[in-house]
Amino acid sequence: MTTKTTQADGKKTAGAFDIRNIIGLLLGIYGVILTLMGLFGDAEPAKTGGTNANLWTGLALLIAAAVFVIWTKARPIVVPAEVEKPLPDPTRPGPTTRSGAKKKR
């Protein structure tokens, strides 16, 4: 199931499949990799003007990942319980129902 129920009001939220969680996870993975490369890899300060670019970029990505995860927890996306079916639109492409067609039984 792609939704989870909140305890306070019984409404369903997007949960793990909220796009902010996915973005935060990807930024976190890249942040960990760059931070570890900045700490344990070759710093090569001549290429970056004397700064450890991997370390600072990795830390910035970890902070951005934390912001996305905190944002998701603070303001979850609420999934509506019922969605209204759209009205037939003759200008919209896709299958349409024919008014004179016989239904198969």
Give the residue with greater pLDDT, 53 vs 13.
Answer: 53
CA 70 to chain centre: 13
Task: Please determine, for residue 97, whether its predicted confidence score (pLDDT) is greater than 80.
Answer: no
Give the per-residue pLDDT at 1.
45
DSSP-derived 3-state class of residue 43: coil
Two tokens at 29? 């993975």
In this prediction, residues 93-102 reach a mean pLDDT of 63
CA distance 104 to 80: 33
Give the per-residue pLDDT at 55.
93
